């Protein structure tokens, strides 16, 4: 496995592999790798000859300095996990490599970034789209794989790639979960011990809504009441948002669901070291057609 630190070296390698006819898949990450990231590696392997993974804690997507400072950076552990998973190359640049002195260019998607995480984290998605654009230009992959847990991020990146005519396929991989249903996240390790058990409330709320829709419930207000009731069973949970949205446009769902609808959650829990940990999760609810 090769470790690359500079954009120029990565671009040179990408040109060489492309000229040789090899298909490159990129898995962008911020490190602190877990089984969810490794599931993205598996999805990438099925789509390409070479799997490249980036490890870069992107400072421009953090709206809170304390959140950036708390984000775990464990590169040696990440490299060991990548070797075990058969990753061919890891790109781990320094911040100055990605944002050199004097940098003043940003990539921004507008409407899709306004609701959900964008409403409570101003500037977050501008940082995401900028760094993803930089990574795509550096690695020149044929396909880049992202997880569906970050549903809004996936939608925003797809929009950016379409609008700017990037020659890359954006592939989605399903959410990987712990046995108790909690979505895998690098942030989970920061949860206070008792909060870790409470965090399963997100999966419980999604499951309750899915069962209600399967039983015929279509009223948005009733579904959101069910979700918030389920989340309230976790005494230390604080809801950032619990919303029903169109899965393509991310516009607010109608009062009565008419088709597939995204149920998106963001909830904070106490951290092991004083602050709170923000977890997100989602599910696309699929009402059955009305019988005539």
Q: What CA–CA distance (Å, rounded) separates 262 from 146?
A: 17
Give the chain's length.
292
What CATH number matches the domain at 2-173, 3.30.420.10, 3.40.470.10, 3.40.50.620, 3.90.180.10? 3.40.50.620
**Other C-beta atoms lying within 10 Å of the C-beta of residue 185:** 24
* Domain-wise residue ranges, the chain: 2-173, 186-283
Q: For domain 186-283, which architecture applies?
A: 2-Layer Sandwich (3.30)
Q: Which residues are catalytic?
A: 37
Task: Please tell me the predicted confidence (pLDDT) of residue 100.
Answer: 97
Q: What CA–CA distance (Å, rounded) separates 99 from 90?
A: 19
Q: What CA–CA distance (Å, rounded) separates 269 from 39?
A: 26
Task: Please tell me the predicted confidence (pLDDT) of residue 2.
Answer: 98
Task: Please tell me the predicted confidence (pLDDT) of residue 67.
Answer: 82
Task: Please tell me the predicted confidence (pLDDT) of residue 292.
Answer: 54
Handedness of CA 186, 63, 40, 241 (dihedral sign): positive
Q: Which two tokens stand for residue 42?
A: 């598996």
Are 2-173 and 186-283 the same fold in CATH?
A: no
Contact residues for 209 (Cβ-Cβ < 8 A; gap 6+): 223, 226, 227, 263, 283, 285
End-to-end CA distance of the chain: 59
Task: Please tell me the predicted confidence (pLDDT) of residue 291.
Answer: 58
The CA R_g of the chain, rounded to the nearest whole Å, is 20
Handedness of CA 78, 80, 85, 86 (dihedral sign): positive
Per-residue pLDDT of the chain (292 residues; tens, 9 = 90+): 999 999 999 999 999 999 999 999 999 999 999 999 999 999 999 999 999 999 999 999 998 888 888 888 999 999 999 999 999 999 999 999 999 999 999 999 999 999 999 999 999 999 999 999 999 999 999 999 999 999 999 999 999 999 999 999 999 999 999 999 999 999 999 999 999 999 999 999 999 999 999 999 999 999 999 999 999 999 999 999 999 999 999 999 999 999 999 999 999 999 998 789 999 999 999 998 765 5
């Amino acid at each position: 496995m090769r470790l690359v630190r500079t954009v120029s070296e990565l671009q040179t390698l990408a040109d060489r592999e492309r000229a040789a006819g090899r298909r490159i898949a990129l898995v962008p990450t911020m490190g602190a790798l877990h089984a969810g990231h490794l599931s993205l590696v598996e999805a990438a392997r099925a789509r390409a000859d070479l799997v490249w993974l980036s490890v870069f804690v992107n400072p421009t997507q953090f709206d809170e300095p304390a959140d950036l400072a708390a984000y775990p950076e464990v590169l040696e552990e990440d490299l060991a996990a990548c070797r075990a998973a058969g990753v061919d190359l890891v790109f781990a640049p320094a911040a100055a490599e990605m944002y050199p002195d004097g940098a003043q260019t940003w990539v921004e998607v507008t409407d899709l970034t306004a609701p959900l995480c964008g409403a409570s984290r101003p500037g977050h998605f501008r940082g995401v789209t900028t760094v993803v654009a930089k990574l795509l230009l550096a690695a020149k992959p044929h396909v880049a794989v992202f997880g569906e847990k970050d549903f809004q991020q996936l939608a925003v990146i797809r929009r950016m790639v379409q609008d700017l005519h990037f020659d890359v396929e954006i592939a989605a991989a399903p959410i990987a979960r712990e046995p108790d249903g909690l979505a895998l996240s690098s942030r989970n390790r920061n949860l206070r011990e008792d909060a870790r058990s409470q965090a399963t409330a997100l999966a419980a709320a999604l499951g309750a809504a899915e069962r209600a829709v399967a039983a015929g419930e279509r009223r948005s207000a009733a579904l959101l009441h069910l979700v918030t009731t389920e989340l309230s069973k976790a005494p230390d949970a604080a809801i950032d948002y619990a919303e029903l949205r169109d899965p393509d446009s991310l516009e607010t769902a109608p009062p009565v669901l008419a088709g597939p609808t995204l149920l998106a959650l963001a909830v904070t829990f106490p951290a092991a070291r004083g602050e709170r940990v923000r977890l997100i999760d989602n599910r696309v609810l699929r009402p059955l057609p009305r019988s005539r």
